[in-house]
Amino acid sequence: MGSIQQIIFMVLSVIALASALGVVLSKNPVTSVLCLIVTFFAIAGHYVMMNAQFLAVVHIIVYAGAIMVLFLYVLMLMNLNAELEPQKRNWLKYAGAISGGALLVVLVAALRDASMPAMSTANNDIGLVHNLGMVLFRQYVVPFEVSSILFLSAMIGAVVIGRKED
Amino acid sequence: MPVQYYIFLSIALFCIGVMGVLMRRNAIIIFMCIELMLNAVNLLMVAFSKMWADAGRVDASSAQLFVFFIMVVAAAEVAIGLAIITMVYRNTHSVDINILNRLKN
């Protein structure tokens, strides 16, 4: 553990992993939502550490600001903030945990010896909004417009699905 | 700072998400675990972007734009999915996905 960057990486990783486990293991759904918000902030910290400031800001605004508020609204409106899972079959839980752990072991074993270029600690400005905006509006204009149509159709779809039919 | 650290962190987050999808019965928690998996992939893609930018590639910022588009798709997905879950709750008064297997027959 030499440099300050590795210490920050370790702290953010421990926070992210612990709160991600809290999402899965907590009984109360509201606690899960709050743990997921903590995870998102830790991931945003990782983005800042990798010089992706624009993505860090967008990540906080979109995920912690919009998506998680939507989850909390639905939980509160449906009054689900109590434990409701009767959980008869306990072996399904163990089977899920073992499957996820086996996937973890396989992926780590597959990528353990991969050789890749090293990340330097030098600053580069590819994550700043000026550079990303140049690339977005020069090379990716068509996907950008298509995603706006996707948003429009998602909005209409949410209204149509959520409407109470008479 | 080797990029392997970020790879293993992303793998761990992704597997926690998979574990949550397999273990939990609450539809909203399953949905949140899907968000967690998407975020693991986003983190890995930003790490690769940084790695290739340091290696001298000029087009490394495309990966960060892919992350941007993944966020767009995730937002649309959450809007639709929560509408569907609300409808399920209105019809069955539960968000337990074990009840939903009546669609099978």
Q: Is residue A88 part of a domain?
A: no
Q: Is residue A103 part of a domain?
A: no
Q: What is the pLDDT of residue B97?
A: 82
Taking residue B62's Cβ as centre, other Cβ atoms within 10 Å add up to 18
Within 8 A of B24 by CB-CB distance, chain A residues are 24, 85
Query: Could you tell me if B87 and B30 are in contact, meaning their C-beta atoms sit under 8 angstroms apart?
Result: no
Query: Could you tell me if A49 and A68 are in contact, meaning their C-beta atoms sit under 8 angstroms apart?
Result: no
Q: Is residue A128 part of a domain?
A: yes
Reported ipTM: the value is: 0.91
Beta-bridge mates of residue B26: B96
Q: What's the pTM value of the predicted model, to 2 decimals?
A: 0.90
Cα separation, B47 vs B101, in Å, equals: 40
Query: Could you tell me if B98 and B25 are in contact, meaning their C-beta atoms sit under 8 angstroms apart?
Result: yes
Q: Is residue A104 part of a domain?
A: no
Q: Select from A83, A105, A134 the last residue of a domain.
A: A83
Backbone CA torsion sign across B57, B59, B64, B66:
negative
Q: Is residue A72 part of a domain?
A: yes
On whether any CB of chain A is under 8 Å from the CB of B15, the answer is: yes
Residue A157's domain comprises 123-166
Closest of A22, A132, A18, A123 to residue B20, by C-alpha: A22
**3-state DSSP percent of chain A in helix, strand and coil, to 5:** 75, 0, 25
My answer on whether A52 and A130 are in the same domain is no
Among A33, A35, A67, the residue to mutate for chain B (most B Cβ within 10 A): A67
- The number of folded domains in chain A is 2
Within 8 A of A92 by CB-CB distance, chain B residues are 23
Q: Do A158 and B83 touch (CB under 8 A)?
A: yes
Among B5, B6, B7, B29, the residue to mutate for chain A (most A Cβ within 10 A): B29
Q: Do B71 and A104 touch (CB under 8 A)?
A: no
Q: Per residue in A46-86, pLDDT tens?
A: 999 888 899 999 999 999 888 999 999 888 888 766 655 56
Query: Could you tell me if A47 and B44 are in contact, meaning their C-beta atoms sit under 8 angstroms apart?
Result: no
Lowest mean pLDDT among A12-26, A72-86, A95-109, A117-131: A72-86
Query: Could you tell me if A136 and B59 are in contact, meaning their C-beta atoms sit under 8 angstroms apart?
Result: no
Closest of A40, A105, A26 to residue A68, by C-alpha: A40
Q: Per residue in B19-54, pLDDT tens?
A: 999 988 888 999 999 999 999 999 999 999 988 888
Nearest to A99 among B9, B22, B76 (CB): B22
Q: Is residue A101 part of a domain?
A: no
Per-residue pLDDT band for A92 (boundaries 50, 70, 90) equals confident
Query: Could you tell me if B23 and A95 are in contact, meaning their C-beta atoms sit under 8 angstroms apart?
Result: no
My answer on whether A72 and A139 are in the same domain is no
End-to-end CA distance of chain A: 64
Q: What are phi and psi of A27, to 5 degrees?
A: -80, -35
Domains of chain B: 3-94 (1.10.287.3510)
